[in-house]
Structure 1
């Protein structure tokens, strides 16, 4: 089972993984892990001249330490350029992670998440380059992409300049668990936010003179739920999901200052997802209508109402590749050669693949053992990690 021409040093791959898991690099603070990955690539034989950073961080609207890490490996045989991608950052819950080996797993200490999402991908791409160079394996031109701020909005992939990818025609993104799963599509997301400006008043002396921004928000969300826009959304053959993530005040503070004051300001932020961006937008507009209706229902004693400012914009586009797409065919062939049974998956979560596809590089996402991600129970399944490494190696070397 597998390609006998490819020899994977499993111990070396696991060493890379343990090292990367030990380097803190939460979203937006990727400089240290980028340096660790760069150092590992140089030690693997990748020339320093082939390792570079772009300036995507200068276009990301929130502070970000470094740009995307990009590595160019010249081909040793003709063929279309391949792109392999993963992300450098972890969720904040991974700060202070202490990885350790426990049987066929790598686990944390139970107080933080581990960071297998996506240090597994970082290790896969490094062992890929190391193995190709060590064994002088024939392969087409390859670009390795390590993005920043994936966990906080796919920013690195979004702000990437496609010209930096060297004309890659297809991409394999490493960001999943089960190597049998092949993610070929994902939903798009629309973000929305609303500011509600009411009027403060003493809630005991003259509550009728106030306009409660809290009440406007509560009535609006109840209205959205009644109209079928909250949670799982199915309307006229379209489907999607929505959520309200933030209900607070200014600058991350609580909505309101005291129980004896009618709340004069509330900020609410939510999202809508769907396989079609048009329906994600429709969900956001459903929430907008609910807030406008609630605005007219909450008045002071003189009939004045709150000011409501609602805005929404796309966060990332959906995509969906069919089984005839060259990158899907390539992945299917490699998986079959390894004895895997391809399970074509459409994800309800966004991936760097959403933006890479938008940039003109059809992208599939493969798994490499990350499990229970974004929780203190997170672990890496080492047999699945090794299979992810083998799959990436085979994808880099097989011929169409």
Structure 2
């Protein structure tokens, strides 16, 4: 393990700021902040109010804050929010990333804290713990650091837009000014202490089969049936689990104008996920060739587009970004675990730009549904973890 020896040498010398680890966050302030964040509407590409709120919060915490032009590039009303806070110069900076947007239905969402400590949505909306639990954890960690005047490492934060629509905000962010080489993305379901070290490539397949329209009753022999070609291709593909690392799905098929017209157009949408980007691209080529064969057999043609939404990454389990997190979990008596995820996050985009990170579980459950919930205890835990990482004196190996 190339990183572990250097890390262990440092950990023997590592001390945490007095009062940093183990000092509890302000639970009431944290929950009030989370409830406030939930009350701000921020669906994808409409994050303006959230962005303005977070810029003001970061400035009040001493950050130098900028907003990029992601909104105009993506057709939204807000850009990615970036902040930098100076810290101990001998320590390397760390980047903490969360996204501002929430999935629908989310307009008018309200958080209700139950007597059991579970926080749910009041009405028929998502709660927005994905990813507002992460946002609240970062803000509370920074508030404790400022309030207690804790020494800390240089801290970078990135609040992205449009993550829920295939990480579009993170993909257009300019990483040239990022100082960190390591990142923690707070955007994973599960118990606090878990982290994802591997995620897949996610490809969207946009397929158009073109045939020829004709009257289905009077002149069927003059038509070229686009849906028939598409159906033939789909039936000859292996769908679902291709191997232990790869899946293929055809999820959308549209075509035809009327029951008495041979359809000249059929639009098909599919998706490939794989922990190997090479495998994903090779599979997309196989799908393309099958559609071309099926179309050619009856005289149709095919237009085929592959969109790379996320590119696969795997962070070594002995990398300092992992070992630092494990050390923090041990200090806070949290069960540490590493896992794969088959979903994408902003970490995929950052990995492409040379930033090595992991995705932390951060008090979100049953995401993307109106049954979404978090708990007071888990919010406190992820805020404690975030603060501990910020004051950690462990550098990379």
Report the 3-state secondary structure (helix = DSSP H, G, I; strand = E; otherwise coil) of the residue aligned with 2:141: helix
Which one of the candidate residues 142, 151, 173 is aligned to 2:164?
151
- Give the structure 2 partner of residue 241 of structure 1: 247
Residues of 2 paired with 1:287 and 1:5: CA distance? 54
Residues of 2 paired with 1:95 and 1:293: CA distance? 46
Residues of 2 paired with 1:72 and 1:38: CA distance? 12
- Give the structure 2 partner of residue 38 of structure 1: 55
- Give the structure 2 partner of residue 302 of structure 1: none
- Give the structure 2 partner of residue 256 of structure 1: 256
Residues of 2 paired with 1:349 and 1:231: CA distance? 16
Normalization by structure 2: what TM-score?
0.89
Residues of 2 paired with 1:128 and 1:80: CA distance? 18
Q: Does 1:9 align with 2:18?
A: no
Residues of 2 paired with 1:162 and 1:330: CA distance? 23
Measured after TM superposition, the shift of residue 393 of structure 1 is 0.6
Measured after TM superposition, the shift of residue 127 of structure 1 is 1.2
Q: Does 1:126 align with 2:130?
A: no
Measured after TM superposition, the shift of residue 310 of structure 1 is 1.2
Measured after TM superposition, the shift of residue 205 of structure 1 is 2.5
- Give the structure 2 partner of residue 195 of structure 1: 208
Which one of the candidate residues 351, 369, 375 is aligned to 1:375?
369
Q: Does 1:362 align with 2:371?
A: no
Report the 3-state secondary structure (helix = DSSP H, G, I; strand = E; otherwise coil) of the residue aligned with 2:304: strand
Root-mean-square deviation over aligned CA pairs = 1.9
Report the 3-state secondary structure (helix = DSSP H, G, I; strand = E; otherwise coil) of the residue aligned with 1:94: coil
Q: How many residues align?
A: 374
- Give the structure 2 partner of residue 252 of structure 1: none
Q: Does 1:169 align with 2:163?
A: no
Change in 2 beyond 3 A, CA 1:392/1:220: same
Measured after TM superposition, the shift of residue 53 of structure 1 is 0.4
Q: Aligned runs of 1:19-168 on 2, under 5 Å?
A: 19-42=36-59, 45-47=60-62, 50-59=64-73, 62-76=74-88, 78-102=90-114, 103-109=116-122, 111-165=124-178, 167-168=179-180
Measured after TM superposition, the shift of residue 381 of structure 1 is 2.4
Measured after TM superposition, the shift of residue 110 of structure 1 is 5.2
Query: Is the 2:328–2:389 contact (alpha carbons within 8 Å) kept by the matching residues of 1?
Result: yes
Q: Which moved more, 1:214-223 or 1:369-378?
A: 214-223
Deviation string, structure 1 residues 26-63 (Cα, Å, up to 9, x no partner): 11111111122223334xx324x71210223344xx41
- Give the structure 2 partner of residue 343 of structure 1: 337
Change in 2 beyond 3 A, CA 1:327/1:4: closer
Query: Is the 2:21–2:331 contact (alpha carbons within 8 Å) kept by the matching residues of 1?
Result: no
- Give the structure 1 partner of residue 313 of structure 2: 319
Measured after TM superposition, the shift of residue 3 of structure 1 is 5.7
Query: Is the 1:191–1:284 contact (alpha carbons within 8 Å) kept by the matching residues of 2?
Result: no
Report the 3-state secondary structure (helix = DSSP H, G, I; strand = E; otherwise coil) of the residue aligned with 1:152: coil
- Give the structure 2 partner of residue 334 of structure 1: 328
Measured after TM superposition, the shift of residue 239 of structure 1 is 2.9
Report the 3-state secondary structure (helix = DSSP H, G, I; strand = E; otherwise coil) of the residue aligned with 1:120: helix
Residues of 2 paired with 1:158 and 1:365: CA distance? 17
Instruction: List runs of 5+ in structure 2 lacking aligned partners.
Output: 1-18
Report the 3-state secondary structure (helix = DSSP H, G, I; strand = E; otherwise coil) of the residue aligned with 1:136: coil
Residues of 2 paired with 1:262 and 1:246: CA distance? 20
- Give the structure 1 partner of residue 13 of structure 2: none
Measured after TM superposition, the shift of residue 112 of structure 1 is 2.2
Residues of 2 paired with 1:258 and 1:190: CA distance? 32
Report the 3-state secondary structure (helix = DSSP H, G, I; strand = E; otherwise coil) of the residue aligned with 1:191: strand
Q: Which moved more, 1:15-24 or 1:201-210?
A: 201-210
Normalization by structure 1: what TM-score?
0.89
